[in-house]
Amino acid sequence: MQDLVLQGIVNGLILGAIYGLIGVGLNVIFGVLRVVNFAHGEFLVLGAYLALMLAQYAGLSPFWALPITFLVFCLIGYLLYFVLIPRLSKSNDPETSSLLLMFGVSIMLGAIMLLLFDADARSLEYEIEPVFLMLGNIILPTIRLITLAISIVIVALVAWLLYGTLTGKALRAIIMNRDAVRIVGIKTERLAAVAFALGIGLAGVTGVLTAMVFPSFSPFMGNDYTLIGFVVIVLGGLGNPVGALVGALLYAVTEQVASVFFNPSIGTICGFVLMVATIFVRPNGLFGKQVMR
Amino acid sequence: MRRVQIAAGFFLLLIAGFLLLPLFTSNTSFAFYLMLWIIMASAMNICVGFTGYLPFGYVVFYGVGAYATGICYKVLGLPILPSLLIAGLAGVAFAMILAPTLRLKGVYFGIVSLALATIVRLIIANLPSDLTGGSMGLILASSNNPTLSYYSMALVLIVTLACVLWLSVSSLGKALKAIRDDDGAAACVGINVPRTRLKAWLLAAVFPALAGGIEAWHTNVVDPEYAFHVLVTAKSIVYAMAGGFGTILGPVVGAMALLGIDHLIWQKFPLINLLLLGLVIVLLMLFLPRGIVGGLLHRYPQLRRYIA
Amino acid sequence: MLQIQGLKKQFGGLVALNGVSWHLPPKQILGVIGMNGSGKTTMLNCINGLYVPTAGKVLLHGKDITGWPVEQVAREGIGRTFQVPRVFPHMTLLDNLDVSQLHKGRTAEERYAVSVKWLEKVELYRLRHNMAEELSGGQQKLLELARIMVSQPKVVLLDEPFAGVNPGLAQLLISVIKTLPTEHDCSVVLVSHDLTSIYQLSNHIIVMNEGSILSQGSADVVKNDPAVIEAYLGA
């Protein structure tokens, strides 16, 4: 039993890295743009499909798919920004409007994927030797270890981008105070587009990693991933990238350990309950800012 | 007052249309679902338009109503009408249970709401199947009565629209509007914001619960996939939004317009139905974010005297 | 009437309000002046419940209302306006005033009568069916004042009521504020940068600086206090 629990914890940590990536992507978009990207999960699944296509038609391994997907999706995100977002600022309630707008986009993407790829679940076939490593009695599938490593690298790169470059500094400044940034002369529109592109790029890359880790994917799984992403960033505190990672780890470990004792759907229940309980104790999430009444 | 009277007149005509329809045709399916979605959108509007909160887990009331009806009828053996009443009560009870979430801020509320609805869906999926029918759902075969269920839905529609009209002139309605405009300032003028929001919340929960129960009765099936499907929430929000939140006529107009379009599109292009639904949402948000009625009022504020 | 004792508010490491005490007798106007960041608005927020004080007490008629929720403080009789007016933009002027009286137990007719009376006082009666968002900034400030007065408060906290208001409307505001203690049995805490109005209206003035009271007294005392001149008024 103890081994199973440990296995659960390890699985949780590995999954937590992926969930964390979803959260970081969502947080970049929400933090900078105050846009609730309800379509994040669909972009993720689309990334998985791209990896599949690259493998099937170009014979490229998922490792090549990663940077390609990132670039392609960043471009898509950048262009999509100008189509979708600027009009939102005119509405009464930009946050709600963005939520609904991206919800519409999520339905469209799901439908497009359904038309292009059919409803059957697909999987990315990728073998690696050895298939798994053993740590004591714990099974560590090699693919998952690799994706964990890749996730860490990506998070580090994002952190470097946000904290080490001038662009990143500007992005963080926007999160803090958009108008002030404009006054100082930085072109917020361009930057916002970059943030959106980054978020979508991250979604795509997470999709590739997901395809590597999970047995299969289908056009309508996007919803589930979006939901997990939101649960994770709410748990960690909206707009806080570190919070997203911590939230993701907590969520994933809870979910996996609970699955050991019961079944996967109860695992999900436990993870969600953790989030709801946390919000009641700390209404702005674990690392969110305290606000005035 | 005039604008409320105009809205009331419009509703009377609409309801008369629904009531008389079965006399002329036996194909009442579209009308039945139109009534359902007007109810769902109007109740959603009570919640959003009056409290400013977007409940992403809204479908939970619909599902609870459907399951309560199914369980009462099939498992407990109660006749259908008391089962429906219990469904309504179950909706309110659930709203009470979820009431603490109203303390949360906007976006957090929406996401917690969605998470809670998912939890409920998963719990029901994990309950013993002699109670909830497991993944097959519950079949209510012997209760089937399309005419009676049609008129029941019409009755709920009447009550819903009456309630919406009442809210627009009552003190509760005004307090809610103030809260939606600025909840901090509302508190500063003595309005107990949480308690008032709760009233709107409870009110908004009754109607989807009843609608869910009647729909289950009408189709004979309580389907776990559909009863808690996020599309139910999505459509309620979109239809209300298409008309315009915060207006009385908005949800009705929005439901009629979009359901009509949906019906036409589905008939002509069944394959890309979903894609077009998403596209409509996107176009609405980009070009008509206040909805049809809301946009009209924004452009021509003088019309506010005639359109509620 | 209204008394604060040792009121303190801290945000993490920042002490916005550092132990402020004063006493406002009935039917008096207390003027509050001070640099931006001296803690004036924080003080008001602590009184009406928007902030919970870190330490200290707020007493209304001897009743301890420290840390009470905002709507309870409002119902107890403390009204408040804001630097940037927070009227209800999508409601008519009449409805804005109506909604403020809901907790008083009056009938609809009674509420209407009181609303009309105050709209006439602030000269906005002819716009009574307009949406509040259609008003100018100055008109919104007048509406905000009317909105608290219809509920017959005992104390009103006015946060920079003259900021951004044209002279004509400012005159009207001043004349209305003057009547609050005399005709409406209401004390006033008036925070403002407009020194002329403060000197004109206040019975007693306190000068705040960096979260504490720097000086207090009548207009003449304060005007001539060297500490005040150095910190705030300029040489």
Highest mean pLDDT among A86-95, A96-105, A132-141, A167-176: A96-105
A243 Cα to chain C: minimum distance (Å): 20
Predicted local distance difference test score (pLDDT) of residue B163: 93
If you average pLDDT over residues A147-164, what whole number do you get?
A: 83
Domain assignment of residue A293, yes or no: no
- Domains of chain B by residue range: 2-230
- DSSP secondary structure string for all residues of C55-115: EEEEEETTEE-TT--HHHHHHHTEEE--SS----TTSBHHHHHHHTTGGGT--HHHHHHHH
- Counting one residue from A and one from C, how many pairs have CB atoms under 8 Å apart? 9
pLDDT band at B78 (very low <50, low <70, confident <90, very high): confident
| DSSP letter (8 states) at residue A290 | P
Range of the domain at A57: 2-281
Residue A278 has pLDDT above 90, yes or no: no
- Chain A stretch 245-274, residues whose beta carbon is closer than 8 A to a beta carbon of chain B: 263, 265-266, 268-269, 272-273
Domain assignment of residue A270, yes or no: yes
- Report which of A101, C115, C89 is spatially closest to residue B180, judged by C-alpha positions: C89
Long-range contacts of C18-21 (CB under 8 A, 24+ apart): C18/C210, C18/C211, C18/C212, C19/C55, C19/C56, C19/C212, C20/C56, C20/C208, C20/C211, C20/C212, C20/C213, C21/C56, C21/C213
Residue B166 has pLDDT above 70, yes or no: yes
| Phi, psi (degrees; rounded to nearest 5) at C17 | -135, 125
A220 close contact with B: CB closer than 8 A: no
C70 contacts A292? CB cut-off 8 A: no
Predicted local distance difference test score (pLDDT) of residue A204: 93
* Interatomic CA distance for residues B208 and B205, integer angstroms: 6
| Closest residue in chain B to residue C86, using alpha carbons only | B185
Cβ atoms within 10 Å of B211's Cβ, excluding its own: 31
Predicted local distance difference test score (pLDDT) of residue B141: 64
- Per-residue pLDDT of A2-59, as tens digits, reads 778 888 888 888 889 889 999 999 988 887 777 888 899 999 999 999 988 888 888 8
The reply to whether the predicted model has a pTM over 0.90 is no
Predicted local distance difference test score (pLDDT) of residue C235: 43
Report residue B203 as tokens: 């009110």
What's the CATH number where A136 sits?
1.10.3470
Domain assignment of residue A184, yes or no: yes
Sorted by sequence, the CB contacts under 8 Å of residue B173 that are 6+ apart come out as: B50, B166, B167
Distance of CA A70 to the CA centre of its chain: 13
Cβ atoms within 10 Å of A141's Cβ, excluding its own: 16
Task: From chain B, pick out residues whose CB is under 8 angstroms from the CB of C69.
Answer: 187
Neighbouring chains of C at 3+ CB pairs under 8 Å are A, B
User: For chain C, which residues score pLDDT lower than 70?
Assistant: 232-235
Cα dihedral A271, A276, A278, A279 sign: positive
Inter-residue contact C194 to C83 (CB < 8 Å): no
Range of the domain at C119: 2-233
Secondary structure, 3-state, C151-207: CCCCEEEEECCCCCCCHHHHHHHHHHHHHHHHHHCCEEEEECCCHHHHHHHCCEEEE
What ipTM was predicted for this assembly? 0.87
Task: From chain B, pick out residues whose CB is under 8 angstroms from the CB of A283.
Answer: 103-105, 108
Predicted local distance difference test score (pLDDT) of residue C116: 94
Predicted local distance difference test score (pLDDT) of residue A291: 43
Residue written as token pair 């079965």: B22
Instruction: Please state the domain count of chain C.
Output: 1
Q: What is the mean pLDDT of chain C?
A: 89
Which of B187, B189, B246 is the closest to C151 by Cβ?
B189
A289 Cα to chain C: minimum distance (Å): 12
Predicted local distance difference test score (pLDDT) of residue A293: 36
Strand order across the beta sheet in which C155-159 lies: C78-80, C155-159, C187-191, C29-34, C204-209, C212-217
Domain assignment of residue A290, yes or no: no
| DSSP letter (8 states) at residue A289 | P
Cα dihedral A186, A187, A188, A191 sign: negative
Domain assignment of residue A291, yes or no: no
Beta bridge mates, B221: B139
Predicted local distance difference test score (pLDDT) of residue A179: 62
| Closest residue in chain C to residue A291, using alpha carbons only | C51
pLDDT band at B32 (very low <50, low <70, confident <90, very high): very high
Domain assignment of residue A292, yes or no: no
* Amino acid making up residue C160: E
* Interatomic CA distance for residues B119 and B9, integer angstroms: 42
Which of B187, B246, B301 is the closest to C71 by Cβ?
B187
Predicted local distance difference test score (pLDDT) of residue B53: 78
Domain assignment of residue A9, yes or no: yes
What's the CATH number where C100 sits?
3.40.50.300
Predicted local distance difference test score (pLDDT) of residue A176: 64
Pairing state of beta strands C78-80 and C155-159? parallel
pLDDT band at A145 (very low <50, low <70, confident <90, very high): confident
